[in-house]
Amino acid sequence: MKKRRKEIKKRGFLAHNYNKSWEYIKESNKFIWFVVILFFISVIIGFLYHPPVIENSILDYIKEVLTKTDGMSPTRIIIFIFINNIQSSFAGILFGFALGAFPFIVTLANGYVVGYVSSFAVSSSGILSLVSLLPHGIFELPAVFISFGMGIKFGTFIFYKEKAKYFNKFFINSLRVFIFVIIPLLTIAAIIEGSLISIVN
């Protein structure tokens, strides 16, 4: 009987926090859409314009990642992707307190890299090659958009009279979303992306 009560309480706890998470996501809707628009503008720029200096930096970064993952088992690749995505998403929230500058800049950078990689894929294998990139971002991108949107919203606490109150409110709610929504999305994303990379290799 006690075990049954504990299970009910646990389900109630999870359901409560999950629902609260989505309430805060809806509340942060404008900031999340701002990140989405900013990201895709950056994707277009990265697709159309890539000067040699930036191109070399991106290629060096890609080579570094490939070197790190070379010879890894599928499980290790999944863990590697998961940890990188978790760190990026959490940093997007945590460092957003500084007027949202960090998630803003990282959104631009990530979008540009995606645009460049898409341009390279199209020039190498044709426009249909973009379809093969979709599974990599179907869960990862929403998680990143939500994280960075909340990070930018976090930075707006400075414009409120009760700064400490809104700092705590935004941080606690963002942390809840991170635990109950972002982590599950990034777990699925890492499994899909890691499995696809392993199959290709």
pLDDT score of 119: 87
Determine which of 27-31, 132-136, 166-170, 183-187 has the lowest per-residue pLDDT on average.
Answer: 132-136
- What is the pLDDT averaged over residues 17-43? 95
Which of 139, 65, 143 lies closest to 103, judged by CA?
Answer: 143
| 68 pLDDT above the threshold of 90 | no
For residue range 44-66, list pLDDT tens digits in order. Answer: 999 998 888 887 888 888 888 77
| 201 pLDDT above the threshold of 70 | no
Q: Could you tell me how far CA 27 lies from the centroid of its own chain?
A: 19
Which of 19, 42, 20, 13 lies closest to 148, judged by CA?
Answer: 42
| 199 pLDDT above the threshold of 70 | no
The 3-class SS string of the chain reads CHHHHHHHHHHHHHHHHHHHHHHHHHHCHHHHHHHHHHHHHHHHHHHHCCCHHHHHHHHHHHHHHHHHHCCCCHHHHHHHHHHHHHHHHHHHHHHHHCCCHHHHHHHHHHHHHHHHHHHHHHHHHCCCHHHHHHHHHCCHHHHHHHHHHHHHHHHHHHHCCCHHHHHHHHHHHHHHHHHHHHHHHHHHHHHHHHHHHHHHC
Determine which of 7-11, 41-45, 77-81 has the lowest per-residue pLDDT on average.
Answer: 7-11
**pTM summary value:** 0.88
Determine which of 11-15, 184-188, 189-193 has the lowest per-residue pLDDT on average.
Answer: 11-15
For residue range 102-151, list pLDDT tens digits in order. Answer: 999 999 999 999 888 888 877 777 666 666 667 668 899 999 999 999 99
Pairwise CA distance, residues 26 & 98, whole Å: 22
More reliable by pLDDT, 62 or 9:
62
Share of the chain above pLDDT 70, in %: 88
Share of the chain above pLDDT 90, in %: 53
User: Is residue 157 a contact partner of residue 166, using CB atoms and an 8 Å limit?
Assistant: yes
Q: 71 — phi, psi (to 5°)?
A: 85, 0
- Average of per-residue pLDDT values in the chain: 86
